[in-house]
Structure 1
């Protein structure tokens, strides 16, 4: 009977609009939730088979919930460098635990990038999900795969200690006075180091050993003829190197020859090449190779001795002071000594149909047959968006649209309830016939 189908249609209208109200309520409640993706409800008519042209069987309505995951929210500036947002397509790869994804870990995808460092050194977002990344090897290489999770691990910085670099290259820019009277006495290699002969000019500089400790080495210059200088390098104090006390700390010797225009003609001997510093066992440092450049900045002009500049690489130990994420997704550790080291590259996962993903815990999503498989790429590559550090993606909820939908849903619900009351009155009239 058509009146009964009208009742059922009214009930389906109440159910459908109740679902719509629940969706709208969720959207409004999450208007300030980072990375939240709004949902909507589409109504689909249910059609019953019609047995005759003179009567009609109402079918009602079916609510179909859809997610607007592909619609990006606005990016808002944050004061934390570990807050991350994605400008464009893609999702952060996360997991509810810190296990290897290819070994029992559960993989999820999210746009909620409010990450912080927890007590164990892991990067987790406000929902407790662990950020995943490709680890960077010591040589700077990254093993990536567009489909495999075996190369991905939970980002952890607890093992990042102080960074120190030993000195490997030294350069001296100085002038040797061409008016200096040449040394006329006896000279053998090592005389400048042990003090047997006083150098005409001496300069010292600081190098860092393999442990990052500062050590002093000196360079003595002795003019022995026109355009010819004997050069020695020695450690100070001489006890810092193995056997240094007996040799005056001698490290390298050689001859520096100048052209008639005051430029360097040649540097011969061990002073003109790489030499080793055999640090004493008491220092705890390993033998260190030093490449000395005397060809670039040395001059011999008729003016006083002087050092223009001394260059030496290597840095003392530094502590971790911060993390920086570059546009290519490279997570870099910054140290107090000015050095930096790449730790992880943060990948992004993209889908052919992101709106087909299923919602999961903590504002994350999981794959479904409708979404298709993920494709993993580095930031700003392969269709993936660009990771922005110090920013968060806001909810894509439009309050004006939601309140408008709230009003229309309320009116539709009231209208569906009127269908039931009207059908009830008609049934009452039908029952009155028997009376």
Structure 2
């Protein structure tokens, strides 16, 4: 082997170890980067054909690659929109809210930006399936990334539900005089989510017999302001001699309202006054203090206002639940997990973001925690797979190899200088 061959081989060693240093420095710099996958350097010997006593020029190459399939440790953060994948797969993200190019990452450092989109610290928008009012995926073709949309929480509001039923419990005074009347109030909601206060007048019509009638609803903020018109239905109620409910007429008991000042649709509300021959709703007993009154009154209705988004929670299956200040919750998105046959074939766009290639195979959109896809852990982040101790050890080996190759270059240069001097 000639001196020039030795010089060339030593130079390839310097280049290979430089590649290793690049990998090491990147790993150390990203030891705290969420979802980062550490890179490693593979070395390959280069030998040309040998014949007889002559040996061709040899050398080495160094190639850096990320171990994309490696999973980092998961740490709880307490931030509801920060996510980690417990198992295989990636989040689908886009570079902007209006981009159709989908990328893949395990960096779940998502937070809400000024426009309401969930973006991670690298600036990528999280994509998911939009859900309909029943919590079902709205897209017809859920296997394509075209069925995904950037998750936006800015325009989400709770859908109002008009009151359709009121469950009532109350004790009516058996010692009240015939003709005595007592008034209670019930809160109801119209079809637009506006709250109203309805006065209910309980009148004793005979022994063990009562009637209840709903008056015109009023504003809950100012009960002097009438907000609708009651249909004036009178409901007759009778009790058994033991105070339990005997009958209700009409049955089911219903009251109606129209002419809402809010512009809402007419309302028909069913009153659940209890079970016949039982005291689980209305009952009648004498008062102990001789002061007849309605006691134990409670009216639970099933309506609610529109509500304002308070916060979100994300389930292990990727369902994004919007929680409203009216106490209601609604499923608004589902975050898929994207898997590949060969994730190592993905092309690195950045240290934590990848694009699909022919080598990675076709993507598959799966519900989190099913069919081999990892589950989603909310309020968590996946650590970098880079380890400082490991990288320091690699650096020592690389530094020693680089220094040795540099000495070979120096020695070869001195030998060539000697030959040149001899020729002169």
Are the aligned partners of 1:133 and 1:152 in contact in 2 as well (CA < 8 Å)? yes
Are the aligned partners of 1:108 and 1:365 in contact in 2 as well (CA < 8 Å)? yes
Which string of whole-angstrom CA distances, capped at 9 and with x for unpartnered residues, describes residues 31-87 of structure 1?
A: 1211111100111112211111x2322421122222112212222332432222222
Three-state SS of the structure 2 residue aligned to 1:377 is strand
Alignment partners' CA distance in 2, 1:345 and 1:290: 35
Give the alignment's TM-score, normalised by structure 2. 0.87
Runs of 5+ consecutive residues of structure 2 not aligned to the other structure:
219-223, 276-280
Question: Structure 1 residue 91: deviation in Å?
Answer: 1.0
Question: Structure 1 residue 97: deviation in Å?
Answer: 1.9
* Residue among 197, 201, 221 paired with 1:220: 201
* Residue among 119, 122, 125 paired with 2:120: 125
Question: Structure 1 residue 426: deviation in Å?
Answer: 4.4
Alignment partners' CA distance in 1, 2:362 and 2:169: 60
Q: CA RMSD in A?
A: 2.6
Partner of 1:108: 103
Question: Structure 1 residue 428: deviation in Å?
Answer: 4.8
Are the aligned partners of 2:13 and 2:60 in contact in 1 as well (CA < 8 Å)? yes
Q: 288-297 or 21-30: which moved more?
A: 288-297
Alignment of 1:406-421 (within 5 A): 406-421=395-410
Three-state SS of the structure 1 residue aligned to 2:96 is coil
Question: Structure 1 residue 180: deviation in Å?
Answer: 4.4
Are the aligned partners of 2:19 and 2:63 in contact in 1 as well (CA < 8 Å)? no
Alignment partners' CA distance in 1, 2:423 and 2:165: 110
Structure 2 residue 380 is the aligned partner of structure 1 residue 391: yes
* Residue among 394, 402, 408 paired with 1:405: 394
* Residue among 322, 330, 346 paired with 1:357: 346
Partner of 1:205: 186
Alignment partners' CA distance in 1, 2:217 and 2:21: 81
Runs of 5+ consecutive residues of structure 1 not aligned to the other structure:
184-197
Alignment partners' CA distance in 1, 2:225 and 2:390: 79
Structure 2 residue 77 is the aligned partner of structure 1 residue 78: yes
Three-state SS of the structure 1 residue aligned to 2:147 is coil
Q: Aligned pairs, how many?
A: 408
Q: 57-66 or 133-142: which moved more?
A: 57-66
Structure 2 residue 230 is the aligned partner of structure 1 residue 230: no
Which string of whole-angstrom CA distances, capped at 9 and with x for unpartnered residues, describes residues 366-390 of structure 1?
A: 1122221211112222222222222
Are the aligned partners of 2:231 and 2:257 in contact in 1 as well (CA < 8 Å)? no
Give the alignment's TM-score, normalised by structure 1. 0.85
Which string of whole-angstrom CA distances, capped at 9 and with x for unpartnered residues, describes residues 256-300 of structure 1?
A: 233444332332226x344431133x3333212212101241123
* Residue among 263, 282, 299 paired with 1:298: 282
Three-state SS of the structure 2 residue aligned to 1:406 is helix
Three-state SS of the structure 2 residue aligned to 1:26 is helix
Are the aligned partners of 1:267 and 1:295 in contact in 2 as well (CA < 8 Å)? no
Partner of 1:423: 412
Partner of 2:26: 26
Q: Cα gap change, 1:221/1:308 in structure 2, threshold over 3 Å: closer, same or farther?
A: closer
Partner of 1:11: 11
Structure 2 residue 278 is the aligned partner of structure 1 residue 289: no
Which string of whole-angstrom CA distances, capped at 9 and with x for unpartnered residues, describes residues 373-416 of structure 1?
A: 21111222222222222222221110001011011001111222
